[in-house]
Structure 1
């Protein structure tokens, strides 16, 4: 920051100085006022240049912030577009998964044992039939169980054979969900990028405010120097005006002196001329005076 003006270097002019100082003293004071004025004008010019430089940097930072704002807004628009697509796809996926659940419910596939479990149970019962010695009654009950299990197995297998359409529906739902996830990932990436531009915008505006504060201080310093220069200029003009008045007064005084001398010379010449007419002898100096006066 610029140093404050050294008040001790300023030149003070009072009304008493104007009225009572000698011409030489006023000429000296005029020179001092002029030199200090020029020094202060130079100082004001340097401060104005620094202020203008900072104002230009402020505008650059504001422009930079605006660019980040525009990029942020552009990215936020893209975020919203991807959000809309993600939500639409998620809604579609939810509908497809709901259709899968409804189809499974219609086939009762969620209840009961799997084919592998039923097959294993059948094999265990058959192994028991083959290896154990059973009564006629127990063997009949065992055969009935085996037949029941085989019926369950065939029924289950038949239902599963009808689920190809469900699997296709499920695959489609999963693909749609995966596409929605891609859009969600894009939302996250773009939102992070938008936030980064937002942060950079805030920082650029903060820097612009700081630089603007510095520029305002330089402007105040410029005003101080310019006002001081203007005061010195005004005083310089006052002294110059006073010197012209003094010159004019001196010229008038010289005119009066010349007029008085001419009148005195005229009167002296007339006296000499009167002597000449009376027949007195004139010396060379008297003759010269008469010639100058035009009387001879």
Structure 2
């Protein structure tokens, strides 16, 4: 989760309509300063949160790019797996056909009937061992020797047939080569499939991390909006106070102007009275002369 400085609303500056309309100019100047300072703090907080949000969004994009790279590698490996599977299956089919031909040739040569060479060789060795280790009667030993000779003859006949058939040997060798090549493709299928699975797992993990970071970025964006909206509200209130202060300045200027005009009228009226006295032949004092001069009568 996002570790961010909480917005302390108790530090916010509240401005009511009553304050705006009824507070003195000095009070409003103080409030304007508080609003400006809090607005600046909130703008800085919003900026910090926006930077963190942007960093998180950048990390999200990096993780998505990483996941995409694993996806592409996985797909590439899966294509190779499919190619090796097709080659393996084709070679296995070819090998099966060759081994079928081998069995048919053996059948035609009657090599598939009776015992194979290894089995015959084992039986001969067993009979010879019996002859060498057991005490037998003359008749039993003669029968045993005949059996050994018969087995050797059968062994030699089968061996001769196999040795004489070069085509069968070549066919068996070819079939085994094709089967071996198919096995190599099968091994590649296994290796590549394992690598593809690794990239798939890494892709899933990268997407999961991207989702987690995106959630943090979204949360940080909400915190940014919270701070920015509070900053905007303080700015709006600051502008309202400034507008009210200008209105008060205008009202004060208007009052001063009214007072000046009133004072001017009073001076002119008093000067008119002094001037009338002067016309009537009354002697004026210095103060009276100064008032006439101020009124522009001298």
Taking structure 2 as the reference length, the TM-score comes to 0.86
Partner of 1:68: 70
Partner of 1:271: 273
Q: 1:163, CA displacement in angstroms?
A: 2.1
Note if 1:50 corresponds to 2:19: no
Partner of 1:246: 248
Whole-angstrom CA distance in 2 between matches of 1:37 and 1:83: 68
Whole-angstrom CA distance in 1 between matches of 2:186 and 2:117: 39
Partner of 2:95: 93
Partner of 1:78: 80
Partner of 2:217: 215
Q: 1:4, CA displacement in angstroms?
A: 2.1
Note if 1:159 corresponds to 2:161: yes
Structure 1 residues 245, 100: closer, same or farther in 2, change over 3 A? same
**May I ask how many residue pairs the two structures share in their alignment?**
281
Taking structure 1 as the reference length, the TM-score comes to 0.86
DSSP-derived class of the 1:98 partner: helix
Partner of 2:5: 3
DSSP-derived class of the 2:282 partner: coil
DSSP-derived class of the 1:232 partner: helix
Whole-angstrom CA distance in 2 between matches of 1:238 and 1:113: 111
Whole-angstrom CA distance in 1 between matches of 2:218 and 2:155: 90
Q: 1:200, CA displacement in angstroms?
A: 0.6
Give the aligned CA root-mean-square deviation in angstroms.
3.0
Structure 1 residues 58, 148: closer, same or farther in 2, change over 3 A? closer
Structure 1 residues 238, 6: closer, same or farther in 2, change over 3 A? same
Q: 1:150, CA displacement in angstroms?
A: 10
Which structure 2 residue ranges, 5 or more long, are not aligned? 129-136, 140-146
What is the correspondence of 1:122-271 to structure 2 with a 5 Å cutoff? Answer: 156=158, 159-271=161-273
Whole-angstrom CA distance in 1 between matches of 2:116 and 2:67: 64
Q: 1:272, CA displacement in angstroms?
A: 1.0
Structure 1 residues 82, 265: closer, same or farther in 2, change over 3 A? same
Q: 1:182, CA displacement in angstroms?
A: 0.7
Whole-angstrom CA distance in 1 between matches of 2:117 and 2:37: 110
DSSP-derived class of the 2:68 partner: helix
Structure 1 stretch displaced more, 153-162 or 235-244:
153-162
Q: Deviations over 1:249-269 (max 9, x none)?
A: 111111100111111111111
Partner of 2:15: 13
